[in-house]
């Protein structure tokens, strides 16, 4: 479809995985100046006795002993285990104003942080400080706040259960529930939406269920890049002839075909396994329309499971009335999929006795993310596909422990059980007033209501919508503390006092007073297991995240009820605390010593519905969501996605192999007909302008000089990379129910770039 040659754009015609993935690992390792650390590390990844891969939250096969290969896991590990170091001498020689000019890629490329540092305004540099000094400064600044609710405590989903539990304990003893966390930008729509539907905010399936399912739906996620080990599971299902139905506006290679590096014959013969049996290029934001279409088709043909519905659910009549009132014309327009095609999807669904639906950010990061999630639950409940072997709902979580962090108390809305558990165990009364999520935290900082921010990992200012607003807000802080492994842009946005605290990564040995420690994590399927690093730490001055949290707590809380030192000396004591506060962790220390760990109880998996009426709920979403409606004129809907060479705001490289992009990220994927309708051509430089309500208070929200790439994406839909596209997302543009930013539904127009931007593409 592309007649013109554009630098760095060449369709990729091979399967996902295969030799391309092995080559990419080799070059990732070489690029980090491997000195053996990484290759040693890779053999310990996702082993019963090794460390948990920091890449994603896809579960490990139980009792596995063979190394499960994953290109992007290898990149994540080599990125952490790099031989490069960003030392105090470097910071002394490079003022922050100069570091600011480096790209995000270059900043993290400086390597691992080695010393605690504090910003010195006189020289505009970060200067080495002692740990004691750093903790004392932080404690003093926090105590100086007139109100504990004027501080924000961010958590990245990379943090272990032990670090996160200590962190929430400290913050609650300090006196606030301000817990913005990365889940707020990610699966909050799941955490808010699923409890209303099925009584729990987590997925209901286990990895073993994939061995028993007879159809899989993959909606709005890209496993080839973001959950690569999932391709092994999908491959096995495909080989069992399980239909795999994809709903995605883009043709994602990992969902099309896969060559497994684990299988020598596939590698040597160049064969691949097809993944999707049917691929629906639904329009961005068209999912509710398609899901309602499938339900309509089922109901019209009387294919609902009446026995299950009457025994286990409520709300069916209202749902049926809503679906009956929804017109096929509208369903087709909004979804971009024909009635005939939707009926095929409904047939596949109805012909299967055990269906699993997997979904990711293509569902949650919308203005109606919560309702999107709930329509998936409706579809599943219609035929009893929740709470039986081989069937269920599988949200693909983001960070490797984002789910665990929530389980152990990182939440801005604590329930009574959590408050009581803390009082029972530690003897202090935790605050009950709801705190801030991520969007609310930035708004509070912007408005001067919050003056301090501590970040346990992450690069929040860049990951958030509207970085310009976030950057300006962060500059108003009195105190900014970053607990991190590598330098990123958020660290360079200076507060009155800015402090960087370097921590151990998950691959590294963590030795405390009683010996080597392990931590625990919970994956997407509620499996909790231990993770123990073995590499020599990147610097002798690093501390573990639990030790850093405890250090801050001791410097801040005058008469703390918590034995911080004792817990850090022996993480078993932290786990005893977790078990006492959260009884579902019964026998925690025994159970994580078993290879593969254990699964937390998920009531809905056993058809135990933890809702007021003890039933699962059909929930009506009004209309088909304007997200998917082209708003007349020239409007298109923009989604912002990850490339193959990035981990969130960490950019490993400038390639997006499966989408055929090499050496650049300044691209906008557009359907050829949408390009032609605007008089634009493949390779043209364009400006992207965000519109209307989406633009929030700024009429002029735009990014300029990007390159239009003619691409087989659904009509009316355009895509660009995150975080390049974040400037187009207003802070106010989020799901009303869950607060999840609408990173994937931004109404935009495209224009030939102004003269100043027309460099050669």
Which residues of the shown chain bind ligand MGD in the complex (CB under 6 A)? 55-56, 72, 108, 156, 158, 182, 185-186, 219-222, 225-226, 247-250, 252, 282, 284-285, 287, 360-362, 365, 398-399, 456-460, 463, 483-486, 488, 503, 505-506, 545, 639-642, 646-650, 722-723, 725-726, 729, 743-744
Q: Are 535 and 81 in contact (CB under 8 A)?
A: yes
Neighbours of 62 (CB within 10 A): 15
Q: Which does 642 bind (CB under 5 to 8 A by kind): ligand MGD, Mo ion, none?
A: ligand MGD
Q: Tell me which of ligand MGD, Mo ion, none is bound by residue 69, counting a contact when its beta carbon lies within the kind-specific cut-off of 5 to 8 angstroms.
A: none
- At residue 345's C-alpha, the angle toward residues 342 and 350, to 5°, is 125
Q: 488 is in the binding site of which of ligand MGD, Mo ion, none (Cβ under 5 to 8 A by kind)? A: ligand MGD
In angstroms, the CA 643 to CA 400 distance is 18
Which regions of 121-253 does DSSP assign to beta strands (E)? 125-128, 151-155, 215-219, 244-247
Give whichever of 186 and 619 is closer to Mo ion, judged by the CB atom.
186
CB atoms within 10 A of CB 150: 19
Tell me how far, at minimum, the Cβ of 359 lies from ligand MGD, in Å: 8
Distances (CA, A) of 190 to 316, 415, 500, 646: 21, 18, 32, 24
Q: Report what 158 binds from ligand MGD, Mo ion, none; CB cut-off 5-8 Å by kind.
A: ligand MGD
Using CB under 5 A as the binding rule, whether residue 460 contacts Mo ion is answered as no
Partner from ligand MGD, Mo ion, none contacting 160, C-beta within 5 to 8 A by type: none
By a kind-dependent CB cut-off of 5 to 8 A, residue 485 interacts, out of ligand MGD, Mo ion, none, with: ligand MGD
Asked if residue 571 lies in contact with residue 546, where contact means CB atoms within 8 angstroms, the answer is yes
743 binds, among ligand MGD, Mo ion, none (CB under 5 to 8 A by kind): ligand MGD
Q: Which residues, including other chains, have CB under 8 Å from residue 577's CB and lie 6 or more apart?
A: 165, 169, 425, 426, 567
Q: Which does 164 bind (CB under 5 to 8 A by kind): ligand MGD, Mo ion, none?
A: none
CA 27 to chain centre: 25
Nearer to ligand MGD, 425 or 639 (CB): 639
Which of the listed partners (Mo ion, ligand MGD, none) does 225 bind, with a CB threshold of 5 to 8 Å by partner kind?
ligand MGD
Q: Which is nearer to ligand MGD, 55 or 551 (CB)?
A: 55
* Least separation in angstroms between CB 629 and ligand MGD: 13
Cα(42)–Cα(220) distance, rounded to whole angstroms? 29
Q: How far is the CB of 407 from ligand MGD (least distance, A)?
A: 17
Query: Which pair of structure tokens corresponds to residue 312?
Result: 């286990």
Nearer to ligand MGD, 197 or 648 (CB): 648
- The count of other CB atoms within 10 Å of the CB of residue 736 is 11
Cβ proximity to ligand MGD, 213 vs 376, nearer residue: 376
Which residue in 355, 390, 402 sits closest to 376, CA to CA? 355
Residue sitting closest to Mo ion (CB): 398
Pick 249 or 431: Cβ nearer ligand MGD: 249
Neighbours of 754 (CB within 10 A): 11
What is the end-to-end Cα distance of the chain in Å, rounded? 18
Residue 597 binds to Mo ion (criterion: CB under 5 A)? no
Q: Which does 520 bind (CB under 5 to 8 A by kind): ligand MGD, Mo ion, none?
A: none
Beta bridge partners of 521: 529
Residue 226 CB, nearest approach to Mo ion (Å): 9
Nearer to Mo ion, 457 or 551 (CB): 457
Q: How far is the CB of 527 from ligand MGD (least distance, A)?
A: 17
The yes or no reply on residue 369 touching Mo ion (CB under 5 A) is: no
Pairing outcome for strands 215-219 and 244-247: parallel
Least distance from C-beta 49 to ligand MGD, angstroms? 20
Which own/partner pairs from 700-706 qualify as long-range (CB within 8 Å, at least 24 positions apart)? 701/466, 701/727, 701/728, 701/730, 702/727, 702/728, 703/727, 703/728, 704/753, 704/754, 704/757, 705/666, 705/753, 705/757, 705/758, 705/759, 706/666, 706/667, 706/668, 706/753
State the nearest-atom distance from the C-beta of 590 to ligand MGD, in Å: 27
Report helix, strand or coil for 72: helix
* Least Cβ distance, residue 456 to ligand MGD (angstroms): 6
Residue 165 touches which of Mo ion, ligand MGD, none (CB < 5 to 8 A by kind)?
Answer: none
**Minimum distance, C-beta of residue 296 to ligand MGD, in the bound complex (Å):** 18
By the 8 A CB rule, do 61 and 68 touch? Answer: yes
**Residue 73: Cβ within 10 Å count:** 22
Write out the binding residues for Mo ion, residues 516-555 only, by CB under 5 A. Answer: none
Shortest distance (Å) from residue 228 CB to Mo ion: 16
Is 293 near Mo ion (CB under 5 A)? no
250 binds, among ligand MGD, Mo ion, none (CB under 5 to 8 A by kind): ligand MGD
- State which of residues 73, 148, 243, 398 lies at the interface with Mo ion (CB under 5 A): 398
Tell me which of 186, 629, 713, 714 binds Mo ion, using CB under 5 A: 186
Nearer to Mo ion, 114 or 401 (CB): 401
What is the Cα–Cα distance from 38 to 83, expressed in whole angstroms? Answer: 9
Question: Rounded CA gap, 318 and 323, in Å?
Answer: 9
Give the CA dihedral 8, 9, 10, 12, nearest 10 degrees.
Answer: 100
* Residue 156, contacted partner among ligand MGD, Mo ion, none, CB below 5-8 A by kind: ligand MGD
Give the Cα separation of 302 and 310 in Å (integer). 15
Q: Pick between residue 15 and residue 398 the one whose CB is nearest to Mo ion.
A: 398
Residue 50 within binding range of Mo ion, rule CB under 5 A:
no
DSSP letter for each residue of 732-752: T-B-TTT--B-TT-EEEEEEE
Instruction: Report how many residues bind Mo ion under the rule CB under 5 A.
Output: 2
The residues binding Mo ion (CB under 5 A) are 186, 398
């Amino acid at each position: 479809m592309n007649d013109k040659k554009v630098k760095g754009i060449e369709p990729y015609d091979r399967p996902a995985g295969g030799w391309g993935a092995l080559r990419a690992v080799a070059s990732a390792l070489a690029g980090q100046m491997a000195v053996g650390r990484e290759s040693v590390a890779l053999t310990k990844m996702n082993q019963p006795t090794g460390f948990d891969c920091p890449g994603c939250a896809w579960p490990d096969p139980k009792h596995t002993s063979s190394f499960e290969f994953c290109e992007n896991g290898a990149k994540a590990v080599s990125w952490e285990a790099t031989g490069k170091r960003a030392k105090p001498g470097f910071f002394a020689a490079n003022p922050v104003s100069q570091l600011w000019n480096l790209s995000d890629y270059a900043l993290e490329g400086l390597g691992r942080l080695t010393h605690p540092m504090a910003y010195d305004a006189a020289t505009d540099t970060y200067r080495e400080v002692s740990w004691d000094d750093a903790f004392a400064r932080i404690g003093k600044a926090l105590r100086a706040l007139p109100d504990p609710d004027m501080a924000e405590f961010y958590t990245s989903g990379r943090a272990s259960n032990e670090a996160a539990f200590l962190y929430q304990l400290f913050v609650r003893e300090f006196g606030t529930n301000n817990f913005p966390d990365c889940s707020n930008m990610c699966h909050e729509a799941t955490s808010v939406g699923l409890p209303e539907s099925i009584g729990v905010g987590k997925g209901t399936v286990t990895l073993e269920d994939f061995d028993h399912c007879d159809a899989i739906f993959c909606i709005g996620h890209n496993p080839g890049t973001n959950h690569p080990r999932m391709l092994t599971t999908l491959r096995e299902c495909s080989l069992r002839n399980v239909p795999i139905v994809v709903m995605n506006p883009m043709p994602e290679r990992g969902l099309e075909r896969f060559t497994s590096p684990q299988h020598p014959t596939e590698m040597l013969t160049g064969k691949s396994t097809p993944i999707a049996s049917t691929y629906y290029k639904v329009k961005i934001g068209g999912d509710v329309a398609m899901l309602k279409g499938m339900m309509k088709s089922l109901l019209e043909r009387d294919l609902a499971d009446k026995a299950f519905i009457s025994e286990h659910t409520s709300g069916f009549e209202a749902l049926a009335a809503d679906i009956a009132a929804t017109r096929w014309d509208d369903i087709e327009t909004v979804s971009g999929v024909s009635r005939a095609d939707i009926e095929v999807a409904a047939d596949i669904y109805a012909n299967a006795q055990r269906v699993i639906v997997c979904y990711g950010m293509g569902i949650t990061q919308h203005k109606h993310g919560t309702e999107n999630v709930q329509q998936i639950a409706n579809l599943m409940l219609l035929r009893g596909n929740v709470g039986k072997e081989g069937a269920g709902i599988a949200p693909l979580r983001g960070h490797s422990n984002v789910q665990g962090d929530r389980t152990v108390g990182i939440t801005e809305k604590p329930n009574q059980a959590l408050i009581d558990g803390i009082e029972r165990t530690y003897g202090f009364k935790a605050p009950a007033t709801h705190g801030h999520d991520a969007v609310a935290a930035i708004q509070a900082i912007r408005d001067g209501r919050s003056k301090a921010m501590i970040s346990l990992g992450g690069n929040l200012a860049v990951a958030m919508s509207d970085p310009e607003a976030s950057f300006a807000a962060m500059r108003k802080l009195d105190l900014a503390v970053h607990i991190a492994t590598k330098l990123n842009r958020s660290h360079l946005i200076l507060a009155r006092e800015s402090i960087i605290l370097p921590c151990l990564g998950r691959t590294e040995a963590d030795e405390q007073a009683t010996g080597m420690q392990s931590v625990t994590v919970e994956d997407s399927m509620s499996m909790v297991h231990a993770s123990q690093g073995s590499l020599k730490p990147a610097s002798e001055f690093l501390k573990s995240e639990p030790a850093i949290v405890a250090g801050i707590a001791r410097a801040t809380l005058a008469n703390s009820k918590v034995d911080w030192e004792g817990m850090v000396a022996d993480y078993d004591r932290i786990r005893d605390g977790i078990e006492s506060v959260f009884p579902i962790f019964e026998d925690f220390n025994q159970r994580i010593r078993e290879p593969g760990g254990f699964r937390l109880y998920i009531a809905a998996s056993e058809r135990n519905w933890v809702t007021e009426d003890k039933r699962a709920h059909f929930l009506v979403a009004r209309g088909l969501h304007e997200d998917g409606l082209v708003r007349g004129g020239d409007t298109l809907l923009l989604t912002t996605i990850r490339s193959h060479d990035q981990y969130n705001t960490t950019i490993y490289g400038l390639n997006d192999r499966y989408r055929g992009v090499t050496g650049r990220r300044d691209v906008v994927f557009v359907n050829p007909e949408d390009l032609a309708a605007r008089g634009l051509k493949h390779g043209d430089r364009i400006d992207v302008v965000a519109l209307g309500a989406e633009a929030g208070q700024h009429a002029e929200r735009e990014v300029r000089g990007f390159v239009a790439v003619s691409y087989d994406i659904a009509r009316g839909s355009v895509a660009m990379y995150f975080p390049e596209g974040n400037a187009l997302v207003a802070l106010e543009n989020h799901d009303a129910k869950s607060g999840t930013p609408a990173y994937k539904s931004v109404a935009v127009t495209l224009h030939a770039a102004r003269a100043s931007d027309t460099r050669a593409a």
